[in-house]
């Protein structure tokens, strides 16, 4: 019996040792190129950012940036596999490798950079958190909302921010109800369960535009002027994969750089023979130039030709829902905004 | 044939090879299977740990000591409280749902089960329709329906401007407000006195039973027991100078102050779970009553017991013995189904865990803690039911 017990322990030890190590050193960039498809985490019903249409196509700001990444890495903007995710599950999906990149109006925060193991690339949209109330309520700013109930979506920075802003204003928050998705928040708001609905301003504009007419339509809602947090929205990849992170980063920055030079999807071919060597190198015309990013030489050309520059993506998706760009932080740096691309050289 | 004695010495030709020796093979198979299972588990766990280290996600339970950063509606939990405290608040809410749910579901379920066996066609068919309908709908559907269609319905729960006041009750979309007590000085001694009153009441009612058996007078044990308890409570109340006062809900600006609130989320979850679980308990009750042999019913009638006495003294006690294991199962189901509160923002322990994960907590450890909590709650319920089962078990001759 004692011999058998020793045998057992030996077998268990050997089994565990043999299976203990299981890490790969391959970058996601190589995996994506061999799969010939980018798995992009997204959502399915936020007007302006990601909407699943009846024809099965995703349209929106974030969806277009997924296509930008595919065009840069694989040469074809259509090679995207959209994976719709619940807000509370998006980081788990990224950590587990279910998606390659998360382009889902996600805020870049310290906690997400650190303990959630995500790595954020160039910010695509500088947003802030706002509050939306019924137009016929007496609130004109967040400071009026003492003792109110606020509804929001779970798993976002919204929850922490609203508690903090109420503390900062010195007013008390009766309840902050966090629901699993925006449909339930809308139902609760229509029923009067909450006095305020808080989220990123861009989302509030989008959600207001689709507020049902039976509840009063968009005019029944007012977005208060207070912006009470910084919400830089950026694509996210997992920590520890700098090759893939750089590839995503430069794909996104190509759109910003193109707009700076006035290159659009319509006139990009005429820029191939430009006198400016920076532009030629940017579009892949410099024969011997390889920065070692692992991207094809003409990635910027493919991005602009197939999807467009940053301004075109904004015009197609954000302008219809009514968010202004000129003169705000989302404008190019040459116009006083924050969008700035590093030089491709 | 296997014996424990030493096998007689076999020659080299007759002794079986080790790979054909049944005893050796038996041991080898068990070792291989155990090794295989351990290897699979170690592979998955090792893979997860290696990837978490690669991503820089923390592996221990330290995340529990960090501030939660969110508030929990319906409690005093501050955002600076630790995540562990948030989880404990969640567990408290789970108990609130589980205990109230088990209580009401049992009452409703037993009544429905008895109704199904009624001779009255209307009553039995009504109960049958109820059971057949609610047993076949997923609980989540009932919960979301109850919340969206009943509790968020402005005609039943109006907005603040049109809040209903029915006597001391206030009803509007934020919940139902009842008058409640508020503890003043000396509250705890009064609770002690009332507990003593309960014990005294039990003794008094048992004494009345004995008296009734000896003299034949009607026992009225319940009345006497309750009377003793009330005497203790009232005398204690006045002796301690009013240890509790009544608070009536009233409006103060935009909020309601005083009384106690039943939130629409809690009410929707409780009612849905009670309705669903009661339909299952009804079937268990019906089955357990029908399991009592017909001879018992006939004997009871022969002894001139009325039908109410027959049910109370002969049928239900025997049916109860049969029903306990399935009932305990339904109680476990109700407790686990309370985790569906995630859908309607009621902050029981699963919802608190998903909020912790949404605000940066590590997912594997959070869910492990959650599973252990449910395991402990379920084991407690199972242990209690085993105790009851053992005490009521029929002693076979």
Which pTM does this prediction carry?
A: 0.80
Domain membership flag for residue B197: no
Interface probe with B: pick from A28, A180, A189, A192, most Cβ of B within 10 Å: A192
Q: Identify the residue whose tokens are 């705000």.
A: A328
User: Measured between CB atoms, which of A15, A193, A240 is closest to B54?
Assistant: A240
Residue A285: pLDDT band (50, 70, 90) is confident
Give the model's pLDDT for residue B24.
87
Closest by Cα among B321, B243, B236, B275 to B135: B275
Q: How many helices (H) and strands (E) does chain A have?
A: 13, 14
pLDDT score of A134 more than 80: yes
pLDDT score of A98 more than 70: yes
**Using the beta-carbon criterion (under 8 Å), do A95 and B69 form an inter-chain contact?**
no
Span A71-90, average pLDDT: 91
Class of the domain covering A28-124+234-335: alpha beta
Domain membership flag for residue B275: yes
Higher pLDDT, B238 or A3: B238
Residues of B with CB below 8 A from A238's CB? Answer: 55
Give the model's pLDDT for residue B396.
58
CATH architecture under which domain A128-229 falls = 3-Layer(aba) Sandwich (3.40)
Write out chain B's pLDDT in tens, 397 residues: 566 677 776 665 667 787 788 888 899 999 999 999 999 999 999 998 888 887 777 788 888 888 888 888 878 788 788 899 999 999 999 999 999 999 999 999 999 998 998 889 999 999 999 999 999 999 999 999 999 888 888 788 888 778 888 888 888 888 888 888 887 777 888 888 888 898 999 888 888 888 888 887 777 788 888 888 898 888 888 888 777 888 888 887 777 787 788 888 999 999 999 999 999 999 999 999 899 888 988 999 899 888 878 887 888 888 888 888 899 999 999 999 999 998 888 999 999 999 888 888 888 889 999 999 999 999 999 999 888 888 776 665 5
Closest by Cα among B193, B163, B162, B187 to B175: B163
**Using the beta-carbon criterion (under 8 Å), do A87 and B42 form an inter-chain contact?**
no
Domain membership flag for residue B326: yes
Nearest 5°: phi and psi at A272?
-65, -30
Residue-wise pLDDT for A40-76, tens only, equals 999 878 889 999 988 989 999 999 999 999 999 999 9
Q: What is the CATH number of the domain that holds B351?
A: 1.10.3720.10
**Using the beta-carbon criterion (under 8 Å), do B71 and A176 form an inter-chain contact?**
yes
Give the model's pLDDT for residue A20.
47
User: Measured between CB atoms, which of B174, B359, B362 is closest to A159?
Assistant: B359
Residues of B with CB below 8 A from A147's CB? Answer: 253-255
**How would you list the strands of the sheet with A38-42, edge to edge?**
A80-84, A38-42, A101-102, A236-238, A118-120
Domain membership flag for residue B229: no
Domain membership flag for residue B201: no
Structural domains in chain B (count): 1
Range of the domain at B103: 83-160+262-392
Residues of A with CB below 8 A from B355's CB? Answer: 154-155, 159, 178
Domain membership flag for residue B177: no
Give the model's pLDDT for residue A15.
57
Torsion angle in degrees (nearest 10) through CA of B230, B233, B239, B242: -120
CB contact set of A5 (below 8 Å; sequence gap of 6+)? none
Domain with CATH 3.40.190.10 in chain A: 28-124+234-335, 128-229
Domain membership flag for residue B20: no
Domain membership flag for residue B39: no
Give the model's pLDDT for residue B216.
76
Give the model's pLDDT for residue A310.
94
DSSP single-letter state for residue B169: E
């Amino acid at each position: 019996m004692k011999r058998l017990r020793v045998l057992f322990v030996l077998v268990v030890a050997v089994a565990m040792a043999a299976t203990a190590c299981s890490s790969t050193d391959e970058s996601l960039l190589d995996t994506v190129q061999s799969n010939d498809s980018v798995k992009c985490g997204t959502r399915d019903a936020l007007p302006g950012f990601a909407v699943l249409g009846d024809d099965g196509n995703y349209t929106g700001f974030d969806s277009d940036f997924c296509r930008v990444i595919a065009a840069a890495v694989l040469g074809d903007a259509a090679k995207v596999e959209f994976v719709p995710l619940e807000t509370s599950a998006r980081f788990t999906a990224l950590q587990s490798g279910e998606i390659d990149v998360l382009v889902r109006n996600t805020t870049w925060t310290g906690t997400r950079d650190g303990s959630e193991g995500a790595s954020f690339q160039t910010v695509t949209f500088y947003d802030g958190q706002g509050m939306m109330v019924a137009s016929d309520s007496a609130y004109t700013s967040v400071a009026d909302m003492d003792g109110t109930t606020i509804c929001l979506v779970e798993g976002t920075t919204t929850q922490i921010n609203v508690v903090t802003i109420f503390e900062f204003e010195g007013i008390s928050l009766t309840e902050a109800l966090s629901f699993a998705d925006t449909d339930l928040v809308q139902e609760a708001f229509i029923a009067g369960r909450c006095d305020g609905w808080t989220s990123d301003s861009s989302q509030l504009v989008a959600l207001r535009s689709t507020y049902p007419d039976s509840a009063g339509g968009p005019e029944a809602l007012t977005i208060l002027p207070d912006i009470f947090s910084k919400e830089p929205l950026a694509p996210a990849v997992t920590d520890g994969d700098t090759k893939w992170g750089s590839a995503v980063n430069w794909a996104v920055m190509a759109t910003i750089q193109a707009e700076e030079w006035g290159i659009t999807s319509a006139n990009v071919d005429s820029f191939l023979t430009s006198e400016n060597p920076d532009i030629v190198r940017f579009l892949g015309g410099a024969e011997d130039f390889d920065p070692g990013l692992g991207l094809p030489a003409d990635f910027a050309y493919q991005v602009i030709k197939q999807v467009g520059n940053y301004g075109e993506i904004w015009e197609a998706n954000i302008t219809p829902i009514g968010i202004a760009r000129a003169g705000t932080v989302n404008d190019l740096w040459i116009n006083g905004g924050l969008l700035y691309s590093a030089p491709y050289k | 044939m296997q014996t424990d004695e030493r096998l007689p010495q076999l020659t080299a030709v007759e002794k079986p090879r080790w790979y054909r020796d049944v005893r050796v093979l038996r041991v080898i198979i068990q070792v291989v299977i155990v090794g295989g299972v351990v290897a699979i588990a170690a592979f998955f766990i090792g893979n997860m740990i290696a990837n978490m280290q690669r991503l820089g996600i923390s592996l221990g339970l330290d995340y529990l000591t960090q501030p939660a950063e969110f508030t929990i509606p319906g409690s005093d939990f501050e955002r600076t409280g630790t995540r562990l405290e948030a989880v404990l608040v969640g567990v408290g809410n789970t108990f609130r749902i589980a205990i109230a749910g088990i209580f009401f579901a049992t009452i409703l379920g037993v009544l429905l089960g008895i109704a199904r066996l009624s001779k009255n066609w209307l009553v039995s068919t009504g109960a049958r329709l109820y059971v057949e309908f609610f047993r076949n709908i997923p609980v989540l559907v009932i919960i979301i329906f109850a919340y969206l269609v009943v509790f968020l319905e402005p005609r039943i729960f109006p907005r603040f401007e049109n809040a209903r006041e029915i006597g001391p009750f206030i009803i509007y979309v934020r919940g139902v407000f009842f008058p409640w007590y508020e503890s003043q000085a000396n509250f705890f001694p009064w609770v002690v006195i009332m507990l003593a009153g309960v014990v005294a009441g039990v003794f008094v009612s048992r004494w009345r039973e004995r008296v009734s058996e000896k003299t034949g007078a009607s026992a009225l044990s319940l009345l006497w027991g309750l009377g003793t308890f009330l005497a203790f409570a009232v005398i204690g109340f006045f002796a301690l100078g009013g240890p509790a006062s009544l608070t009536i809900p009233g409006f103060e600006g935009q909020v309601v102050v005083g009384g106690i609130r039943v939130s629409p989320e809690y009410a929707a979850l409780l009612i849905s779970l009670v309705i669903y679980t009661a339909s299952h308990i009804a079937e268990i009750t019906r089955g357990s009553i029908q399991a009592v042999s017909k001879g018992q019913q006939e004997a009871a009638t022969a002894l001139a017991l009325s039908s109410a006495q027959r049910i109370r003294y002969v049928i239900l006690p025997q049916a109860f013995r049969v029903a306990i294991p399935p009932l305990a199962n339904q109680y476990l189901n109700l407790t686990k189904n309370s985790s569906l509160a995630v859908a309607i923002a009621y902050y029981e322990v699963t919802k608190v865990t998903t909020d912790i994960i949404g605000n940066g907590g590590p997912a594997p450890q959070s869910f492990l803690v959650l599973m252990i909590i449910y395991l402990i709650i379920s084991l407690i319920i199972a242990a209690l039911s085993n105790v009851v089962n053992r005490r009521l078990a029929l002693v076979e001759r």
